[in-house]
Structures are given as structure tokens and as C-alpha cells.
Chains A and B, each alone.
Chain A
């Protein structure tokens, strides 16, 4: 944990907004710039910022290793799950028109879940890579 008071105060102030901004980028991605990739990276950057200021041990309390590893795989599975759901409802793989009675609404629903899957995977991978580098001592 860093002793620098300035960094800790600024970090405490900024980190909630970084995480909130990531969620905004995710859920507003249909109407403004943004989407799953950006949201995942920004979310991971917020947590990395937290880990840099308050130390790895505190970061592990927020985001334990097992959770990150689950996120890593869950995103891809969610993405494939959306594809399979389209298949089960009588469409093609990754066909969103069948996800709802109204095809346009189905498209929106499909895009949302797919972007969520992308966000989860990207966030998990970035965090996991950071943890791997950070937890490895000088060899």
C-alpha cells in the first residue's frame, strides 16, 4: 500500500467513477461510443488502479483469483450460449431475430447479451494477466 496521501485520496475519489463509467459505456453502447470491449478494459483498469494504490492483498479481497478465473471463461460461454439460444429457438447460430416476438427487440436483446459476454471475458483476461505479472516475484 502506498504511503502517498494524495494518491490514496484521489484514488478513493476516482475509482467509483471509473467503475461507473465502465458500466455506462457498456449499457449506453447502443446509443453512444462504447461497447463490451471498452467497458471491460475500463473496468479492469479501475481495479488495476485500486491494486496499484492499495496493494495486491486488498485488491484480492475485492476481486479474488477464483472469481477472475470464472469471469475469464464465463464471458465466452455466455456468448456461445446466446448463439445456442438462437439455435434452440429455431434460428441459426447467433441469429438474434428469434430471441423475441418482435425481431428488432430480439436484435437488441441479442446485442446486449453478446456485449455483456465480451465485457466479462475482456475484463477477466486483463485482470488475470495483471495479477499474474504482479504476483510473480523477481526471479
Chain B
């Protein structure tokens, strides 16, 4: 059990992020949940790369054991791409707020529904 502790924490963070994304209607809260989900993936990659007694992968004659550098490279780029996509999501949320006046999912759906009904009624009247 203790050998898999890091995986258990990863899974906990993952389902916490998943829960926030599914259960909360607020778009910004959803984005925060999504970034928690993302961090759990970082942990999933980084934890297996660690070696006990190893050091950071910066070569020096005094050390022989290094942790695995490959996950570090992958996650490094993933973090920067993550913040770029977060910004894109936030930009979408801001635009939605400007058009609909709200960023709550339920209210957006209700507004959409009302607009559709109004359009249908308008078509019936024209027909």
C-alpha cells in the first residue's frame, strides 16, 4: 500500500478536479477544477521518475544517481501549454459573460432555451 501512496494522492486530486468540473455550474470554477485535474496528471508523470537517493538531473561529477529527466521535460512544456489553454478558456468565459450576462451554466441553458422557443413561435406566426 505504501509503495502506491503517490498514485492514491494522484487519484484523489484527479477525482476532486473531476467532481468540481461536473458538479459546479460556474465556468470559472470549472476551469479551476480543470487545472487541478491537470496538476494531478503532472504528479502522475513525475512520481514514477523519482529514484530514492537520486538528485535532480543536472550532471555533476559528485553524483551518480539521477532522477528520470524525461517526465520533467514533458511536464515542463505541459504546464506552459496548460496556462495558455486556461487563458483561452477564460477568454471564452468573458465573452460568454458579455453576451449572456452570466457565467452560470444553468442560466445560460435557460436563456438558450427561451431564445429557441421565441424563434419557433416567430416562425409559426410567419407560417
Contact = CB atoms under 8 A, between A and B. Distances in A.
Q: Do chains A and B touch in the complex (CB under 8 A)?
A: yes
Interface stretch (B44-52, B76-84, B117-125): B76-84
Contacts of A35: 76
Contacts of A31: 58
B80 A41 contact: yes
A122 interface: yes
Interface residues of A, number: 14
Interface residues of B, number: 14
B107 to A, nearest CB: 16
Contacts of B97: 139
Overall SS of chain B's interface: helix
Given A37-B77, A122-B80, A136 B58 contact: no
A-side binding surface: helix, strand, loop or mixed?
helix
Interface of A: 31-33, 35, 37, 41, 122, 125-126, 129, 132-133, 136, 139
Given A37-B76, A133-B90, A139-B98, 19 more contacts: A32-B58, A33-B56, A33-B58, A35-B76, A37-B77, A37-B79, A37-B80, A122-B80, A125-B84, A126-B83, A129-B84, A129-B87, A129-B91, A132-B91, A133-B87, A133-B94, A136-B94, A139-B94, A139-B97
Interface of B: 56, 58, 76-77, 79-80, 83-84, 87, 90-91, 94, 97-98
